[in-house]
Chains A and B, each alone.
Chain A
Amino acid sequence: MASFSQGGGVLKKRSKTEGTRLKVGLGACGIAAGAMNVFEEARKTVEENDLPIRVERTGCIGMCHHEPLVEIEEKDGGRILLGEMTPEKIAPIIAQYMENGHIDPDNIVAGTDYITENDPFFSKQYRIVLSNCGTINPESIDEYRETGGYEGLARAIREIDPDEIIREVLDSGLRGRGGAGFPTGLKWKFTKQAAGSPKYVVCNADEGDPGAFMDRSTLEGDPHSVIEGMTIAAYAIGASDGYIYVRAEYPLAVSRLKTAIRQANEAGLLGEHILESDFSFDIRIKEGAGAFVCGEETALLASIEGERGLPRLRPPFPATKGLWGKPTNINNVETYASVSRIIQNGASWYSGFGTEKSKGTKVFALAGKIRKGGLIEVPMGITLKEIIYDIGGGIKEGKRFKAVQMGGPSGGCIPESLLDTTIDYDSVTKTGAIMGSGGMVVMDEETCMVEVARFFLEFTQNESCGKCTFCRIGTKRMLEILERITNGLGREDDIERLETLAQSVKSGSLCGLGQTAPNPVLTTLRYFRDEYEAHIKEKRCPAKQCRGLISYRILPEECVGCGVCLKNCPVDAIRGEKKQVHEIDPKKCIKCGICLDSCRFGAVEVR
């Protein structure tokens, strides 16, 4: 069995190395920030100067706020992480490092000799699912195997009886990471016991929560861990075919998965007679086509079958009647990736993390008005406050925290007063939000909570498949009310109307989409009712966001007449001579806020 070194601190010294390596974080986010150019420049520098250093690619290490990221793995296994890299910076850094081992500390964001056990970004995290993400080359099966990858599968096939694997997953306490938190081992047991064959194993990689990217990063950074988890599931359950349903907007994840599947096949770890046993298992990729409801398991299965993605009534659950009516086990990406580590390291190792009812770790995508946004993995039981302030570094630009959104369109907004809430399924549910799949969007004083509720309703209303009347029409009515309130036309009884509608939509919908769609409205009504009242009664938006309720003006005593606002105003609503006080024409102003953002003298006021 592999040692405890699986996972652990984010940047650990490596015990085994093969000389100096330079690794560029080439996840979709790194590439967006320009990492591809850095990668090419580094390659060129090394080739042209024939330097003894290998340039490689890796996935997302999670410090998205410092992208593009480059890691130097030193000869002795030490690791140095360089942030905000550019093609211009990287060549001289390589040259100097190769000459005398020195790197200008300004470029270093972290490193084994530089941090810092006490940097809470690292010390409060524990990486199990993400242990390889951003450290290995995701396109190399060998690197995955060097970290102990596929040992779990080998152990499963050679040493353990399928029922015992299921027991081990049960004992680990792992609960589904796709949102609802159903015990994974139990689901496997049901699928195994169900009559019918063949049986299927499906991976839900639809990642519908708009504002989340945990599954994308896992698939891009460590695709083999998901394939291994699925194969273990198939062996335990007795399935011979698997599908990964991936969201349409993730082309890089699809291409990495394809590579990984091919490699696993070639290595005899997938396909016919896996590891020379009687067990055979194939995995196919299905790309989604842009429908949020297809993240719901029964709709997802309909979509794989080539149908419109309409949810089906449960029970029967997919475990008994799934794909083509056959027993089907469906789990989320992170669930399968966790399974690989559990079988590799043992159930008791895993259940050593977390709380009594929520074991292990959870990956979160931290975004919004947070200073250090990124991909993090924390032990269950940590508080929201620790995540937001210690790991995330608090709110951007010294603004005041207002809420954190968890669970996306099915979830809710948790206010400051509840920041001591611990991360476990039951505590998060108590707040009215849900654990969800791991999206965490932080909001500050400048976010209008009524507008956020409107935003989510617009989303669910759009994505409702239309099968259930309450979901289709009810969400539309709720959206109309929210639009009216944010436009300054709210009526006295609108809050009650929203509450009544919310209950009907919840109870009158077949699937989770409708059943949870009112949650963003209900939680904002619960914690931010005063904002709703200010909009309705005082025709005022406290966050100064709702355009129907605000106006912009230039403060004559602050304006120096620099003309920047005039130049930037997209609708020519600003007048004024150079060096003279400028003025906004309220009739032309569209309240886009560009003048406010571009004025360096604080001369623009919103009211």
Chain B
Amino acid sequence: MDSTLKNVFDSFQGKKEELIPILQKVQERYGYLPEDAMLEVSRFARVPESTVYGVATFYAQFRFTPIGENRIMVCRGTACHVKGSVGILEEIERKLGIKEGETTPDGRYSLETVACIGCCSLAPCVMINKKVHANLTPQKVAKLFKKD
């Protein structure tokens, strides 16, 4: 087992109820859930590997492939929807040349959608690496990528 994983396990006791928090921590470290780690998690939490997969696939948060350096999350909540988030998503897709759920070939950007960021009165919103960009228009989208 590599030291990163060991580090993660150190802050847990290995109880079944910790399964989700463990997976969250593993993903925080690696950016996704590597296959090898899944096996180790199952041993550590003393549950069958199928249970670990069962839980991990149920929740939208977990990923099984690496993501790009920059994580873009477009809000698809109700408030953002009525204020034109579809247009924002499409414009980002065109700008980056990828679709929702994909990563650019150079590994710089991953594009995802999210149910709601909780900044609904500043809709439409996009979150890029924990920073929320509000009151967007398709025209403003270009500026989002100039800065990084």
Contact = CB atoms under 8 A, between A and B. Distances in A.
Given A366-B121, A369-B83, A593-B87, A289 B132 contact: no
Contacts of B18: 306
B74 interface: no
A293 B61 CA distance: 14
A598 interface: yes
Contacts of A443: 82
Contact of B121 (A31, A65, A447): A65
A395 to B, nearest CB: 12
A-B pairs, 7 with minimum CB distance: A211-B78, A373-B121, A210-B77, A289-B59, A32-B132, A290-B60, A64-B121
A374 B90 CA distance: 27
Contacts of B55: 306-308
A333 to B, nearest CB: 13
Given A32-B125, A441-B82, A250 B118 contact: yes
A309 B20 CA distance: 11
B144 interface: no
A570 B82 contact: no
A251 interface: yes
Interface stretch (B2-10, B103-111, B134-142): B134-142
Nearest to B126: A32
Nearest to A32: B132
B24 A249 contact: no
Given A211-B81, A439-B120, 17 more contacts: A28-B119, A29-B122, A33-B122, A33-B134, A65-B121, A208-B115, A210-B115, A212-B116, A308-B58, A367-B78, A368-B78, A368-B123, A374-B121, A441-B78, A590-B90, A597-B139, A598-B139
Given A29-B122, A32-B125, A441-B78, A211 B116 contact: yes
B138 A592 contact: yes
A307 B57 CA distance: 11
A332 B57 CA distance: 27
A304 interface: yes
30 contacts: A28-B117, A29-B122, A29-B134, A64-B121, A65-B121, A209-B78, A210-B76, A210-B78, A210-B115, A211-B78, A211-B81, A212-B116, A212-B120, A286-B20, A287-B21, A289-B60, A290-B60, A306-B17, A306-B55, A309-B58, A367-B120, A368-B83, A373-B121, A373-B122, A375-B121, A443-B82, A455-B81, A570-B138, A592-B90, A598-B139
Nearest to A304: B17
B58 A292 contact: no
B72 interface: no
B16 interface: yes
A408 interface: yes
A292 B115 CA distance: 9
A365 B118 CA distance: 10
B130 interface: yes
A568 B76 CA distance: 24
Interface centre among B21, B59, B80, B120 (most CB of A within 10 A): B120
B8 to A, nearest CB: 15
Contacts of B94: 570
A367 B60 contact: no
A309 B55 CA distance: 8
A148 to B, nearest CB: 28
Nearest to A207: B118
A249 B77 CA distance: 13
Interface string B5-42: 00000000001111111011000000000000000000
Nearest to B87: A592
A596 to B, nearest CB: 11
A33 B83 CA distance: 17
Contact of A249 (B54, B84, B116, B123): B116
Interface in A8-30: 28-29
A213 interface: yes
Contact of A368 (B16, B45, B82, B134): B82
A594 B82 contact: no
A213 B60 contact: no
B24 A28 contact: no
B79 interface: yes
Interface of B: 15-21, 23-24, 45, 54-55, 58-62, 76-84, 87, 90-91, 94, 114-123, 125, 130-135, 137-139
B119 A32 contact: yes
B59 A309 contact: yes
A291 interface: yes
A6 B87 CA distance: 44
Interface centre among A28, A67, A374, A598 (most CB of B within 10 A): A28
A214 to B, nearest CB: 9
Contacts of A568: 138-139
Interface string A22-63: 000000110111000000000000000000000000000000
Contacts of A290: 59-61, 114-115
A548 to B, nearest CB: 14
B16 to A, nearest CB: 5
Contact of A211 (B62, B79, B130): B79
Contacts of B62: 289
Contacts of A598: 139
Nearest to B18: A306
B82 A289 contact: no
Given A292-B115, A405-B78, A439-B78, A305 B120 contact: no
A140 B38 CA distance: 40
A439 to B, nearest CB: 7
B82 A452 contact: yes
A31 B132 contact: yes
Contacts of B125: 32
A419 interface: no
Contacts of A303: 20
Contact of B58 (A291, A408, A452): A291
Nearest to B130: A251
B85 to A, nearest CB: 10
B41 to A, nearest CB: 11
A79 interface: no
A459 B78 CA distance: 10
A603 interface: no
Contacts of A288: 61
Interface string A299-313: 000011111110000
Nearest to B54: A308
Interface centre among B62, B79, B94, B118 (most CB of A within 10 A): B118
A31 B118 CA distance: 12
B80 to A, nearest CB: 8
